Amino acid sequence: MTYSQNAPFRADVVGSYLRPAELKQARADFAAGKIDEAALKAVEDNAVTELVAKQKAAGLHVITDGEFRRGWWHLDCMWGFAGVEKVSMDKGYFFHDEETRAESARLTSKIAFDPAHPFVEHFKFIKQFEDDTAIARQTIPAPAQLYAELFRPENIASVHEFYGDTQKDYDELADDNAKAFHGLIMALYEAGCRNVQLDDCTWGMFCDPNFNQHYTADEFAAMQEQYAAMNNAAIEDLPEDLVITTHDCRGNYHSTWASAGGYATVADVLFGKENVAAYYLEFDDDRSGNFEPLAKVSGDKKVVLGLITSKKPELEDPEVIKARIAEAAQYVPLDRLCLSTQCGFASTEEGNKLTEEQQWAKIALVQSVAKDVWGE
């Protein structure tokens, strides 16, 4: 029997967890040709099984595979589509204090869903652990994230090669991209998935003045509308019992960040027009701005407040967190609010700078504060 409730939960998580040492070693051995794919999968299966037990022991109502089978929160999914290949780059993504590994996704043809996308089998494995206390979630990048990846300067030539260089061509790419993601989401549904989370750093990028200052007001507005429409196209005409949520943050790599700025610049479009059930939002430090943009959250959509940081080991003061929840409730009713960490603990295989023990202490804090605030 599957748990009767669905996301978001009062005490929730974003989905990625610190990789255990044996998993990191197995991935390194596989990359070096020391073990084969079957041996790697055996280690992954064991690590995911142990992670599920820890999630349930922590009292969580949602289980994930921790993203243990990927190196990146986004790229591995992109590489699973037809027409997209893994490429090495000269430079990685630039974060506040670090540069990441240098990999990306580039076109080899027009984009399409591939029924052999590995995430479907990944989900089938986690699905078996559902019970009357927990539901399995699949995290994937938002369609807008792949679109943005393809428009990195190093990748744009492949867009021009397979689509062209006019706005009409870019619209065709956006349409194909949305259809590919829709195909993946439906394949996950058919595999038993009832909660898909779209992870999306494009809106965090849009929040940063260092990014949006390069565009006119009209260009910036049009870009937001395009990204929201692309995401919405991917999630339209889905079964009613499939809950689509989104996580919108400003980057999370080895405890560093990529962008800064409050949600005010994107609130009208992101909170008003994106057709998701809930937003998992980053509010763990001053970079995130205040809660006022939450007034733009439309309809009965819910907000999961990311008030507990996954970037640092120190535990937050529960009373401060409760006060911040009360402040947010001035803009979104308390019964439509939930609590989580601001992001996952390991958006990439490197992981953030804290121990597994500290990771679970953070989740315990989320649980205890949520119980005090909502009684559940």
Question: pLDDT, tens digit, for every residue of 297-332?
Answer: 999 999 999 999 987 899 999 999 999 999 999 999
Please work out, in degrees rounded to the nearest 5, the angle formed at the alpha carbon of residue 149 by the alpha carbons of 148 and 152: 90
Kindly state the DSSP code that residue 316 receives in the 8-state scheme.
Answer: P
Please work out, in degrees rounded to the nearest 5, the angle formed at the alpha carbon of residue 69 by the alpha carbons of 235 and 360: 90
CATH class of 21-374: alpha beta
Beta bridge partners of 136: 63
Please work out, in degrees rounded to the nearest 5, the angle formed at the alpha carbon of residue 4 by the alpha carbons of 45 and 17: 35
* Confidence (pLDDT) at 304: 98
How many alpha carbons lie under 13 Å from residue 225 in its C-beta half-sphere?
A: 7
The per-residue pLDDT for range 260-309, each reduced to its tens digit, is 668 999 999 999 999 999 999 999 777 778 999 999 999 999 999 999 99
- Unique residue bearing structure tokens 């595979």: 65
> 339: which residues sit within 8 A by CB, 6+ positions away?
10, 11, 12, 304, 305, 307, 308, 321, 325, 366, 369, 370, 373
How many helical (H) and strand (E) elements, i.e. helices and strands, does the chain have?
13, 10
The Cα–Cα gap between 339 and 288 comes to: 16
The per-residue pLDDT for range 334-375, each reduced to its tens digit, is 999 999 998 889 877 776 679 999 999 999 999 999 999 999
Both tokens of 38, joined, read 């079957």
Beta bridge partners of 245: 197, 278
The per-residue pLDDT for range 129-176, each reduced to its tens digit, is 999 999 999 999 999 999 988 998 889 999 999 999 999 999 999 999
What is the pTM for the complete model shown? 0.94
CB 126 within 8 A of CB 64: yes
